[in-house]
Amino acid sequence: MIEGFARRRFDGSEAPVNYATAGDGPPLLLLHGYPQTHIMWRKIAPRLAADFTVIAADLRGYGDSGKPPSDSRHAPYSKRAMAGDLTALMSALGHARFLLAGHDRGGRVAHRLTLDNPGRVERLAVLDIVPTERLFRETGKAVATGYYHWYFLIQEAPFPETLIGNSVEFYLRTKLGRWGAGAEMVEEEAFAEYLRCFSDPATIHASCEDYRAAATIDLEHDAADLDRPIECPMLVLWGERGLMHRHFDVPGTWRERASDVSDALIPCGHFLPEEAPDETFRALHAFFSAR
């Protein structure tokens, strides 16, 4: 699905990681968001691979990566556990230090990975998110309406799983269409791949566990690190027509958490790499090329 990339599988962690890789140069790990897979980078990853060794991975619980059983604390789907899969992958590939970009849920995993592994991430980019703790703390009617899924998915199983499973294609098309420039931003071949992966009941359950963890154990981990800044250079990208832009000072929320933040507003909705691939590529390439 990503032109010129080879599909691989890493079995050395608690949850096997499905990933695609290509290129030569400094290692760059790309992480996707909900409800997608690593192919959300398909429009820009080949261009990045001209100058970087690009690794685009499926998060734990998503795509073709592993979906381990959860527990009452949702610990297997904490961002710490999800990040652990990816640090193990990068170590196995021989990358002691690497560049890192994450969109949506992938941005939250990237945030935790950077905090838990000081020195391993050389540069960090997050796309269209504010810190998890900040979003929960400041959610009012408008944010709760636009991001209703944050509160729907955390309901006790199997309530959200059953409702989503009743019409997976309708749910997926609605999600992609409402958050972005319209469902047409995703070509049918890519949508079919998203649908293949998300139609798996194990994926639906795991993605709910991801959000349940965000509302519980992730907040515990975040509270312990509120005074610990991200020390590497950071890039914040966000969509001009997205909910985050309407309700938050997006780069300002990250300047409270990091010592070196640059930012760029991208002319699109939530799905930057798919809606505005040229602008997103230029911003990421310039940031990761800086030394």
Catalytic, 270? Answer yes
* Residue 228 three-state SS: coil
Find all residues with CB under 8 Å of 224, minimum gap 6, and list them: none
* Residues 6 or more apart in contact with residue 186 via CB below 8 angstroms: 176, 194, 274
Cα separation of 14 and 17, whole Å?
A: 9
- Phi/psi region, residue 94 (left: phi>0; alpha: psi -120 to 50; beta: rest), is left
DSSP letter at 271 equals -
Q: Tell me the CA end-to-end span of the chain in Å, nearest whole number.
A: 31
Q: Is 11 helix (H, G, I), strand (E, B) or coil?
A: coil
Question: Of the residues 104, 128, 210, 222, which is catalytic?
Answer: 104
Of these residues, 32, 38, 95, 270, which one is catalytic?
A: 270
Is 104 catalytic? The answer is yes
Q: Which residues are catalytic?
A: 104, 270
